[in-house]
Chains A and B, each alone.
Chain A
Amino acid sequence: MKNWLKILAVFLLFYVHIGGLLMDVPRLNILNETIRALYFHVPMWFGMVTLFLISVIFSVKYLLNPSVESDRKAVEFANVGLVFGILGMLTGMLWANYAWGSFWHGDPKQNGAAVALLVYLAYFILRGSVENEEQRARLSAVYNIFAFAAMIPLIFIIPRLTSSLHPGSGGNPGFNMYDLDNRMRMVFYPAVIGWILMGIWVTTLRVRMRAIEDKIHDIEDEKTH
């Protein structure tokens, strides 16, 4: 990753945290100040979906042309994506506690998100239970692609078909309404870009770490033989 992108990510996130907490927000009924959750909660999902998408792309790449490198990248993007998903879930639950009255409300979007996390937990369990490295990489790449495609209807389509209390659906004030408000857009878009960049940065670091760990293992193996 280019250095200027890292600097941009840090700068954007500083701006988002200060601006998100201090700048003026529109006054809406019920939501009131909790509307600021938009700056911290929604970018997590954007980040998660982007990272999972990149992970799937590397899985496809692995199937077409197997290499340790693409497998490592697919895993680490899924890993960091999962962290983003858990953070998105937690920030959403915190918000739901104030806006809806309970941490878990059984909203279609909440349930869909929980299933998305379940898919990737299953992905890591699959990786844990295959011994052979090459087979592990191939099987998990297949499952990654399959599960991602099966997940899309769950998190993008079904919540739109059912009634939901989540902002943005069922007549609740949501995304479109904020979009009209330029003050919020000034913080929200930088937040999305900043978190996606941060996610990619963390992933590239982890990929490099894993590559070095693998190399150390190889050297140790050679010593013992």
Chain B
Amino acid sequence: MILHLIHKELTLELRRKAVISGIGVYLFSLIFICYLTFSLRQNSINEATWSALFWLAILFSVVNSVAKSFIGEKKGSFIYYYAVASPQAIILSKILYNTLLCLLLSLAGYALFSLFIGNPIQDQGLFLLTLLLTSFGFSAALSLISGIASKANNSNILMAVLSFPVILALLLMAIKITKNVLDGLDRSVSVDELLNLLAINCILTGLSYMLFPYIWRS
């Protein structure tokens, strides 16, 4: 069932090319604005600024792209899903699909950053692992919050307000690992942070899984 739902999300996404390319262009313009406003190439930025800019760009594009997972859908399709699938299957498929989306966005963002702003990362493997873990955490938290926000009036504002405090813990851990990676520290230094990230992911996923049926019922 979950696989079917993921498949459905993918086909729908590929059919609505405007949305996916919209997110791509959003990310691109965000990074390009960073590049222009700091007038880089002439004066390079230090590493702390790099990681702050990178995570801000990722945060905003991820919040905007996951937001549409429930907010964008039509009322009729909700009723249809309600009839054919269990809420657990729906939230799990949403989380997995959004993880894929977030990971793609993070990788694209990373590539664009390397192109325009430079790539000071020293340990690629560890950084990619961090991107994977944060993508999963972001999508677990944001999928549920998108479900909540879709039921309220001013969904878009609400999405941002509700999600920022919740994913902050995740973001702080990620920034810390990024700092370790930028400083070229040994992998063993970051093990604690990685475990924390994993633990926060588990908490967020478990909660989404348990709580989603309650918002789905209405």
Q: Which residues of B contact A161 (CB under 8 A)?
A: 192, 196
Question: B164-175, CB under 8 A of A: which get 1 and which 0?
Answer: 111111001100
Question: A149-164, CB under 8 A of B: which get 1 and which 0?
Answer: 1110110011001000
Question: A84-126, CB under 8 A of B: which get 1 and which 0?
Answer: 0000000000000000000000000000000100110010011
Distance to closest chain A CB from B107 (angstroms): 25
Q: Which residues of B contact A135 (CB under 8 A)?
A: 151, 218
Q: Which residues of A contact B203 (CB under 8 A)?
A: 149-150, 153
Per DSSP, chain A at the interface is helix
Question: A-B contact count, CB below 8 Å?
Answer: 88
A interface residues, tally (CB under 8 Å): 28
A112 CA to B145 CA in the complex, in Å? 21
| Complex contact B172–A146 (CB within 8 A) | no
User: A141-B214, A145-B207 are contacts. A126–B148 as well, Cβ < 8 Å?
Assistant: yes
Select B165's contact among A122, A141, A145, A149, beta carbons within 8 Å: A122
| Complex contact A151–B172 (CB within 8 A) | no
| Complex contact A129–B204 (CB within 8 A) | no
A157 CA to B192 CA in the complex, in Å? 12
Which residues of B from 176 to 218 have beta carbons under 8 Å from A? 192, 196, 199-200, 203-204, 207-208, 211, 214-215, 217-218
| Complex contact A158–B158 (CB within 8 A) | no
Kindly state whether residue B141 has any CB partner on chain A within 8 Å.
yes
Kindly state whether residue B152 has any CB partner on chain A within 8 Å.
yes
Q: Which residues of B contact A149 (CB under 8 A)?
A: 203, 207
> Mind listing 17 A-B residue pairs with CB under 8 Å?
A118-B164, A119-B165, A130-B151, A130-B153, A138-B215, A139-B215, A142-B148, A142-B215, A146-B141, A146-B211, A150-B166, A150-B207, A151-B169, A153-B169, A153-B200, A157-B196, A158-B173
Top 7 nearest A-B pairs by Cβ distance?
A119-B165, A150-B166, A118-B165, A129-B152, A129-B153, A153-B169, A142-B211
Binding site for A on B (CB under 8 A): 141, 144-145, 148, 151-154, 158, 161-162, 164-169, 172-173, 192, 196, 199-200, 203-204, 207-208, 211, 214-215, 217-218
